[in-house]
């Protein structure tokens, strides 16, 4: 199967987004060949939801891309995850951060993490509620092998990207608030929000990382 469309899709997106915005290719269900293709198109960061699926692609691609974990991290996958990933975007509890710390300590690696914000306060979803984020970050800031570098949010899903705008806007406010606190061991650099249907809205609300899958690779089967 030809994958030439990937190049056109990536070019279209890169033309559209400002240069300060990092494009993370969300690669769940895609083959290592498809992932290699996006890297050859100039994408420098790959987002993965499943540690096990990443192992195969990582064997081929190694550190020629920056690996972002964007799924829900299960405890028994943390050891492997800290070996592979450069950033874990979905830390939402002190327990998870502590488990990452323990595994990182064993291999002497400082893990960059983002705090996942449940901006829609949806009970069935992962992420810390906005009002609890500062307390969580203060607790994590005591861990020497974990470094908080940003926030990530999904926002409630609906067909209309405008629905997500107030949630992106609230997450940006929280991002700015945490930045002004100058917490030790916390460097608020990245705000990861927006997917295929919502990345334009997310950028207009201050995202500097967008995670795009479908618009790069096509519909998932």
Residues in contact with ligand PLP by the rule CB under 6 A: 26, 28, 49, 70, 154, 195-196, 211-215
For ligand PLP, the nearest residue by Cβ is 213
Which CB atom, from 49 or from 185, has the smaller least distance to ligand PLP? 49
Q: Residue 25 forms beta bridges with which residues?
A: 46, 212
Which CB atom, from 143 or from 216, has the smaller least distance to ligand PLP? 216
What's the min distance (Å) between Cβ of 96 and ligand PLP? 16
Q: Provide the pairing of β-strand 111-117 with 146-153.
A: parallel
What's the min distance (Å) between Cβ of 134 and ligand PLP? 23
What's the min distance (Å) between Cβ of 107 and ligand PLP? 25
Q: Residue 46 forms beta bridges with which residues?
A: 25, 67
Chain centre to alpha carbon of residue 73: 12
Which CB atom, from 89 or from 148, has the smaller least distance to ligand PLP? 89
Rounded to the nearest 5 degrees, what angle is found at the Cα of 80, between the Cα atoms of 74 and 85?
95
What's the min distance (Å) between Cβ of 201 and ligand PLP? 13
Which CB atom, from 26 or from 100, has the smaller least distance to ligand PLP? 26
Chain centre to alpha carbon of residue 81: 14
Burial (CB < 10 A; 0-12, 13-18, 19+), residue 92, is buried
Distance CA 36, CA 90 (A): 24
Handedness of CA 101, 151, 42, 53 (dihedral sign): positive
Distance CA 81, CA 51 (A): 6
Which CB atom, from 125 or from 138, has the smaller least distance to ligand PLP? 125
Contacts of 201 (CB under 8 A, 6+ apart): 161, 162, 164, 165, 168, 194
What's the min distance (Å) between Cβ of 181 and ligand PLP? 26
Which CB atom, from 24 or from 143, has the smaller least distance to ligand PLP? 24
What's the min distance (Å) between Cβ of 196 and ligand PLP? 3
């Amino acid at each position: 199967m030809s994958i030439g469309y990937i190049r056109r899709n990536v070019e279209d997106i890169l033309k559209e987004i400002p240069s300060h915005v990092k494009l993370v290719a969300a690669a769940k269900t895609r083959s290592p060949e498809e992932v290699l293709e996006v890297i050859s198109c100039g994408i420098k960061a790959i987002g993965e939801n499943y540690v096990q699926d990443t192992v195969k692609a990582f064997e081929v691609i190694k550190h020629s891309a920056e690996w972002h974990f964007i799924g829900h991290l299960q405890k028994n996958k943390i050891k492997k995850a800290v070996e592979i990933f450069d950033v874990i975007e979905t830390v939402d509890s002190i327990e998870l951060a502590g488990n990452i710390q323990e595994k990182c300590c064993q291999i002497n690696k400082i893990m960059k993490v983002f705090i996942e914000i449940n901006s829609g306060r949806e009970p069935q979803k992962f992420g810390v509620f906005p009002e609890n984020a500062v307390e969580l970050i203060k607790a994590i800031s005591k861990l020497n092998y974990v470094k908080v570098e940003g926030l990530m949010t999904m926002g409630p899903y609906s067909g209309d990207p405008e629905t997500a705008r107030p949630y992106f806007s609230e997450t940006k406010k929280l991002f700015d608030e945490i930045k002004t606190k100058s917490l030790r061991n916390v460097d608020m650099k990245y705000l990861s929000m927006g997917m295929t249907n919502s990345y334009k809205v997310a950028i207009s609300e201050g995202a500097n990382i967008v995670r795009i899958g479908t618009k790069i690779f096509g519909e998932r089967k």
